[in-house]
Chain A
Amino acid sequence: MEAQALMDVLMTDRTIFISREFSQFPGPRYEVHGPDSGELFRINILAPALTKAIEDSSIVTVVLDEVAGYGSSFLDEAFAGLLRNGFSYENVMSHLRIEARTNRFQHHKVTALKYIEEERKRQAKASTSQVMHS
Protein backbone atom coordinates (compact mmCIF):
# COMPACT_ATOMS: atom_id res chain seq x y z
CA MET A 1 0.00 0.00 0.00
CA GLU A 2 2.84 2.37 0.88
CA ALA A 3 4.67 1.44 -2.30
CA GLN A 4 1.54 2.21 -4.29
CA ALA A 5 1.22 5.60 -2.57
CA LEU A 6 4.88 6.34 -3.33
CA MET A 7 4.40 5.37 -6.98
CA ASP A 8 1.39 7.68 -7.18
CA VAL A 9 3.40 10.57 -5.78
CA LEU A 10 6.26 9.94 -8.22
CA MET A 11 3.86 9.67 -11.14
CA THR A 12 1.98 12.87 -10.27
CA ASP A 13 3.40 15.57 -12.47
CA ARG A 14 0.74 18.17 -11.90
CA THR A 15 -1.28 19.21 -8.88
CA ILE A 16 -4.05 21.71 -9.50
CA PHE A 17 -5.30 23.71 -6.54
CA ILE A 18 -8.64 25.10 -7.68
CA SER A 19 -8.40 27.92 -5.13
CA ARG A 20 -4.96 29.06 -6.29
CA GLU A 21 -5.02 28.38 -10.01
CA PHE A 22 -8.64 29.10 -10.77
CA SER A 23 -10.82 30.83 -8.20
CA GLN A 24 -11.68 30.90 -4.51
CA PHE A 25 -15.31 31.37 -5.52
CA PRO A 26 -16.19 28.69 -8.10
CA GLY A 27 -19.26 29.78 -10.01
CA PRO A 28 -22.03 28.26 -12.11
CA ARG A 29 -21.99 25.43 -14.62
CA TYR A 30 -21.58 27.32 -17.90
CA GLU A 31 -19.43 30.28 -18.83
CA VAL A 32 -22.41 32.22 -20.23
CA HIS A 33 -24.08 32.15 -16.80
CA GLY A 34 -21.36 33.80 -14.80
CA PRO A 35 -17.69 34.04 -13.93
CA ASP A 36 -15.45 31.17 -12.78
CA SER A 37 -17.70 28.47 -14.18
CA GLY A 38 -17.10 24.73 -14.20
CA GLU A 39 -16.98 24.83 -17.98
CA LEU A 40 -14.20 27.44 -17.92
CA PHE A 41 -12.21 25.43 -15.38
CA ARG A 42 -12.52 22.30 -17.49
CA ILE A 43 -11.62 23.96 -20.79
CA ASN A 44 -8.77 26.17 -19.58
CA ILE A 45 -7.14 24.10 -16.86
CA LEU A 46 -8.38 20.55 -16.35
CA ALA A 47 -8.70 19.24 -19.90
CA PRO A 48 -5.23 20.44 -21.05
CA ALA A 49 -3.64 19.04 -17.87
CA LEU A 50 -5.43 15.72 -18.29
CA THR A 51 -4.47 15.49 -21.98
CA LYS A 52 -0.84 16.00 -21.02
CA ALA A 53 -1.11 13.45 -18.21
CA ILE A 54 -2.53 10.87 -20.62
CA GLU A 55 0.31 11.51 -23.06
CA ASP A 56 2.94 11.26 -20.31
CA SER A 57 1.26 8.34 -18.51
CA SER A 58 1.20 10.42 -15.37
CA ILE A 59 -1.48 11.57 -12.95
CA VAL A 60 -3.03 14.97 -12.53
CA THR A 61 -4.31 15.72 -9.03
CA VAL A 62 -7.05 18.25 -8.41
CA VAL A 63 -7.26 19.61 -4.86
CA LEU A 64 -10.72 20.83 -3.98
CA ASP A 65 -9.86 22.58 -0.71
CA GLU A 66 -9.54 26.24 0.25
CA VAL A 67 -12.47 27.61 -1.75
CA ALA A 68 -15.63 29.27 -0.40
CA GLY A 69 -17.80 26.39 -1.58
CA TYR A 70 -19.00 24.53 -4.65
CA GLY A 71 -22.32 24.41 -6.38
CA SER A 72 -22.82 20.80 -7.43
CA SER A 73 -23.41 22.00 -10.99
CA PHE A 74 -19.82 23.30 -11.08
CA LEU A 75 -18.47 19.88 -10.08
CA ASP A 76 -20.68 18.13 -12.60
CA GLU A 77 -19.55 20.31 -15.47
CA ALA A 78 -15.89 20.30 -14.49
CA PHE A 79 -15.46 16.55 -13.93
CA ALA A 80 -18.32 14.64 -15.58
CA GLY A 81 -18.03 17.20 -18.39
CA LEU A 82 -14.73 15.56 -19.30
CA LEU A 83 -16.61 12.42 -20.34
CA ARG A 84 -19.14 14.47 -22.29
CA ASN A 85 -16.30 16.14 -24.14
CA GLY A 86 -14.28 13.28 -25.52
CA PHE A 87 -12.31 11.80 -22.62
CA SER A 88 -12.91 8.12 -21.96
CA TYR A 89 -13.94 6.90 -18.51
CA GLU A 90 -10.83 4.70 -18.32
CA ASN A 91 -8.51 7.62 -19.07
CA VAL A 92 -10.24 9.87 -16.55
CA MET A 93 -10.11 7.28 -13.80
CA SER A 94 -6.48 6.31 -14.49
CA HIS A 95 -5.01 9.77 -14.93
CA LEU A 96 -7.12 12.02 -12.73
CA ARG A 97 -7.15 12.04 -8.96
CA ILE A 98 -9.59 14.22 -7.04
CA GLU A 99 -8.41 15.12 -3.56
CA ALA A 100 -10.07 16.70 -0.54
CA ARG A 101 -7.47 17.25 2.16
CA THR A 102 -9.80 18.60 4.83
CA ASN A 103 -13.06 17.35 6.31
CA ARG A 104 -14.96 20.22 4.78
CA PHE A 105 -14.51 19.10 1.19
CA GLN A 106 -14.77 15.31 1.54
CA HIS A 107 -18.38 15.19 0.43
CA HIS A 108 -17.60 17.36 -2.60
CA LYS A 109 -15.07 14.74 -3.63
CA VAL A 110 -17.78 12.09 -3.25
CA THR A 111 -20.08 14.25 -5.38
CA ALA A 112 -17.50 14.75 -8.15
CA LEU A 113 -16.75 11.01 -8.33
CA LYS A 114 -20.46 10.22 -8.28
CA TYR A 115 -21.07 12.54 -11.25
CA ILE A 116 -18.30 10.85 -13.24
CA GLU A 117 -19.82 7.44 -12.49
CA GLU A 118 -23.34 8.63 -13.39
CA GLU A 119 -22.09 10.06 -16.68
CA ARG A 120 -20.40 6.75 -17.51
CA LYS A 121 -23.65 4.88 -16.86
CA ARG A 122 -25.60 7.41 -18.92
CA GLN A 123 -23.23 7.00 -21.87
CA ALA A 124 -23.27 3.21 -21.58
CA LYS A 125 -27.06 3.22 -21.54
CA ALA A 126 -27.20 5.58 -24.52
CA SER A 127 -24.81 3.45 -26.56
CA THR A 128 -26.76 0.28 -25.68
CA SER A 129 -30.04 1.80 -26.81
CA GLN A 130 -28.33 3.09 -29.97
CA VAL A 131 -27.18 -0.45 -30.81
CA MET A 132 -30.67 -1.79 -30.16
CA HIS A 133 -32.24 0.81 -32.46
CA SER A 134 -29.76 0.15 -35.25
Chain B
Amino acid sequence: MLLLSGLFGAFLGATVTLFFNLWKHSRDEFDKRCDDLCKIVSDSAALGVAYWSDDFSSGKETVKFAVAEAHIKGIQSLIDGTYADIRESLHKLALDNTDEVLSDYTSLLTGGEFSEPGRPTSPDRVSKIPPQASNFIIAVRRASRSTMPYYRVRQHIRSNRARVLDMPDCKQTNANDV
Protein backbone atom coordinates (compact mmCIF):
# COMPACT_ATOMS: atom_id res chain seq x y z
CA MET B 1 0.00 0.00 0.00
CA LEU B 2 2.85 2.34 0.92
CA LEU B 3 4.63 1.52 -2.31
CA LEU B 4 1.46 2.02 -4.32
CA SER B 5 0.75 5.43 -2.84
CA GLY B 6 4.40 6.39 -3.41
CA LEU B 7 4.14 5.34 -7.04
CA PHE B 8 0.88 7.23 -7.44
CA GLY B 9 2.43 10.36 -5.93
CA ALA B 10 5.43 10.10 -8.25
CA PHE B 11 3.17 9.59 -11.26
CA LEU B 12 1.08 12.60 -10.30
CA GLY B 13 4.19 14.75 -9.86
CA ALA B 14 5.60 13.60 -13.19
CA THR B 15 2.33 14.38 -14.97
CA VAL B 16 2.11 17.87 -13.49
CA THR B 17 5.77 18.51 -14.38
CA LEU B 18 5.23 17.24 -17.90
CA PHE B 19 2.25 19.52 -18.52
CA PHE B 20 4.02 22.48 -16.93
CA ASN B 21 7.08 21.93 -19.10
CA LEU B 22 4.97 21.58 -22.23
CA TRP B 23 3.24 24.86 -21.42
CA LYS B 24 6.57 26.52 -20.56
CA HIS B 25 8.08 25.31 -23.83
CA SER B 26 5.23 26.74 -25.92
CA ARG B 27 5.27 29.95 -23.88
CA ASP B 28 9.03 30.39 -24.40
CA GLU B 29 8.57 29.76 -28.10
CA PHE B 30 5.80 32.37 -28.28
CA ASP B 31 7.91 34.91 -26.36
CA LYS B 32 10.81 34.25 -28.71
CA ARG B 33 8.54 34.93 -31.71
CA CYS B 34 7.45 38.22 -30.11
CA ASP B 35 11.07 39.21 -29.54
CA ASP B 36 11.86 38.31 -33.16
CA LEU B 37 8.95 40.38 -34.42
CA CYS B 38 9.93 43.42 -32.35
CA LYS B 39 13.51 43.18 -33.61
CA ILE B 40 12.36 42.88 -37.24
CA VAL B 41 10.02 45.87 -36.87
CA SER B 42 12.83 47.89 -35.35
CA ASP B 43 15.15 46.95 -38.26
CA SER B 44 12.44 47.74 -40.79
CA ALA B 45 12.01 51.20 -39.28
CA ALA B 46 15.72 51.86 -39.81
CA LEU B 47 15.42 50.68 -43.43
CA GLY B 48 12.28 52.76 -43.93
CA VAL B 49 13.91 55.92 -42.58
CA ALA B 50 16.93 55.38 -44.86
CA TYR B 51 14.68 54.78 -47.88
CA TRP B 52 12.36 57.75 -47.39
CA SER B 53 15.17 60.12 -46.51
CA ASP B 54 16.98 59.38 -49.79
CA ASP B 55 16.26 61.73 -52.65
CA PHE B 56 15.63 59.87 -55.90
CA SER B 57 14.21 62.84 -57.78
CA SER B 58 17.19 62.94 -60.14
CA GLY B 59 16.02 59.58 -61.52
CA LYS B 60 19.64 58.43 -61.90
CA GLU B 61 20.08 56.04 -58.98
CA THR B 62 17.68 53.42 -60.26
CA VAL B 63 19.69 50.43 -58.99
CA LYS B 64 20.06 51.85 -55.50
CA PHE B 65 16.35 52.65 -55.53
CA ALA B 66 15.38 49.11 -56.62
CA VAL B 67 17.67 47.51 -54.01
CA ALA B 68 16.28 49.65 -51.17
CA GLU B 69 12.73 48.91 -52.28
CA ALA B 70 13.39 45.15 -52.48
CA HIS B 71 14.86 45.17 -48.96
CA ILE B 72 11.79 46.93 -47.59
CA LYS B 73 9.41 44.57 -49.37
CA GLY B 74 11.38 41.62 -48.02
CA ILE B 75 11.36 42.82 -44.46
CA GLN B 76 7.65 43.64 -44.68
CA SER B 77 6.96 40.06 -45.78
CA LEU B 78 9.00 38.91 -42.80
CA ILE B 79 6.87 41.08 -40.52
CA ASP B 80 3.70 39.63 -42.12
CA GLY B 81 4.86 36.05 -41.56
CA THR B 82 6.17 36.48 -38.03
CA TYR B 83 3.11 38.44 -36.98
CA ALA B 84 0.89 35.70 -38.42
CA ASP B 85 2.73 33.17 -36.21
CA ILE B 86 1.94 35.03 -33.01
CA ARG B 87 -1.44 36.44 -34.08
CA GLU B 88 -3.15 33.08 -33.70
CA SER B 89 -2.16 32.99 -30.01
CA LEU B 90 -3.17 36.54 -29.14
CA HIS B 91 -6.34 37.41 -27.30
CA LYS B 92 -9.21 38.34 -29.64
CA LEU B 93 -9.73 41.66 -27.83
CA ALA B 94 -6.15 42.68 -28.59
CA LEU B 95 -6.23 41.71 -32.27
CA ASP B 96 -8.16 44.73 -33.58
CA ASN B 97 -5.66 47.07 -32.01
CA THR B 98 -2.52 45.26 -33.19
CA ASP B 99 -3.93 44.84 -36.73
CA GLU B 100 -4.80 48.52 -36.85
CA VAL B 101 -1.40 49.68 -35.60
CA LEU B 102 0.43 47.33 -37.99
CA SER B 103 -1.73 48.55 -40.86
CA ASP B 104 -0.81 52.16 -40.02
CA TYR B 105 2.84 51.18 -39.87
CA THR B 106 2.90 49.38 -43.23
CA SER B 107 1.02 52.32 -44.77
CA LEU B 108 3.89 54.55 -43.73
CA LEU B 109 6.54 52.07 -44.80
CA THR B 110 5.26 51.11 -48.26
CA GLY B 111 2.39 53.50 -48.95
CA GLY B 112 2.25 56.82 -50.80
CA GLU B 113 4.97 57.17 -53.41
CA PHE B 114 6.67 53.90 -52.54
CA SER B 115 8.34 52.39 -55.63
CA GLU B 116 7.65 55.48 -57.74
CA PRO B 117 10.87 56.36 -59.54
CA GLY B 118 11.92 59.99 -59.25
CA ARG B 119 10.25 60.60 -55.92
CA PRO B 120 11.74 63.22 -53.61
CA THR B 121 12.51 62.69 -49.93
CA SER B 122 9.57 62.45 -47.56
CA PRO B 123 10.39 64.18 -44.27
CA ASP B 124 6.86 63.43 -43.08
CA ARG B 125 7.34 59.65 -43.38
CA VAL B 126 10.86 59.86 -41.97
CA SER B 127 9.50 61.50 -38.84
CA LYS B 128 6.51 59.18 -38.50
CA ILE B 129 8.00 55.73 -39.19
CA PRO B 130 10.06 55.28 -35.96
CA PRO B 131 7.25 56.36 -33.57
CA GLN B 132 4.73 54.16 -35.38
CA ALA B 133 7.16 51.21 -35.26
CA SER B 134 7.47 51.80 -31.51
CA ASN B 135 3.69 51.92 -31.19
CA PHE B 136 3.43 48.55 -32.88
CA ILE B 137 6.15 47.04 -30.68
CA ILE B 138 4.31 48.30 -27.58
CA ALA B 139 1.00 46.93 -28.89
CA VAL B 140 2.56 43.51 -29.52
CA ARG B 141 4.21 43.42 -26.07
CA ARG B 142 0.94 44.35 -24.38
CA ALA B 143 -1.02 41.82 -26.42
CA SER B 144 1.52 39.12 -25.60
CA ARG B 145 1.37 39.93 -21.88
CA SER B 146 -2.40 39.65 -22.00
CA THR B 147 -2.04 35.96 -22.89
CA MET B 148 -0.34 35.19 -19.55
CA PRO B 149 -2.45 33.17 -17.09
CA TYR B 150 -4.49 35.32 -14.69
CA TYR B 151 -3.39 38.47 -16.53
CA ARG B 152 -6.79 40.13 -16.14
CA VAL B 153 -6.96 39.31 -12.43
CA ARG B 154 -3.53 40.82 -11.87
CA GLN B 155 -4.49 43.83 -13.97
CA HIS B 156 -7.58 44.42 -11.83
CA ILE B 157 -5.55 44.13 -8.62
CA ARG B 158 -2.99 46.63 -9.94
CA SER B 159 -5.64 49.11 -11.07
CA ASN B 160 -7.40 48.76 -7.72
CA ARG B 161 -4.17 49.55 -5.91
CA ALA B 162 -3.69 52.68 -7.98
CA ARG B 163 -7.30 53.78 -7.65
CA VAL B 164 -7.94 57.22 -6.25
CA LEU B 165 -11.33 58.11 -4.84
CA ASP B 166 -12.93 61.01 -6.61
CA MET B 167 -15.39 61.72 -3.76
CA PRO B 168 -14.78 64.86 -1.70
CA ASP B 169 -12.82 64.35 1.48
CA CYS B 170 -15.50 64.24 4.24
CA LYS B 171 -13.25 65.44 7.06
CA GLN B 172 -12.00 68.36 4.98
CA THR B 173 -15.55 69.31 3.96
CA ASN B 174 -16.81 69.21 7.53
CA ALA B 175 -13.90 71.30 8.75
CA ASN B 176 -14.69 73.90 6.12
CA ASP B 177 -18.34 73.98 7.19
CA VAL B 178 -17.33 74.74 10.78
- A residues with CB within 8 A of B: 27-30, 33-34, 68-73, 76, 102-108, 110-111, 114-115
Contact = CB atoms under 8 A, between A and B. Distances in A.
Interface residues of B, number: 26
B33 to A, nearest CB: 12
Given A69-B77, A69-B80, A72-B110, A29 B115 contact: yes
A28 B114 CA distance: 7
A71 B106 CA distance: 8
Contact of B114 (A69, A72, A106, A107): A72
A104 B37 CA distance: 13
A107 B111 contact: no
A111 B103 contact: yes
A109 B41 CA distance: 19
Nearest to A34: B115
A106 B76 contact: no
A69 B76 contact: yes
A47 to B, nearest CB: 21
A114 B101 CA distance: 12
A108 B107 CA distance: 10
A115 B110 CA distance: 13
Given A71-B73, A71-B110, A105-B80, A110 B99 contact: yes
Nearest to A37: B115
A104 B79 CA distance: 9
Contacts of A76: 111
Shortest 10 CB-CB contacts between residues of A and residues of B: A72-B111, A104-B84, A28-B115, A69-B77, A103-B84, A71-B110, A103-B87, A110-B103, A111-B103, A107-B102
Interface string B96-138: 0001101100110111111111000000000000000000000
B77 A68 contact: yes
Contacts of A103: 83-85, 87-88
Contacts of A71: 73, 76, 110-111, 114-115
A68 B77 CA distance: 7
Nearest to B89: A103
A102 B114 CA distance: 25
A91 B95 CA distance: 28
Contact of A72 (B77, B87, B107, B116): B107
Contacts of B9: none
Contacts of B99: 106-107, 110
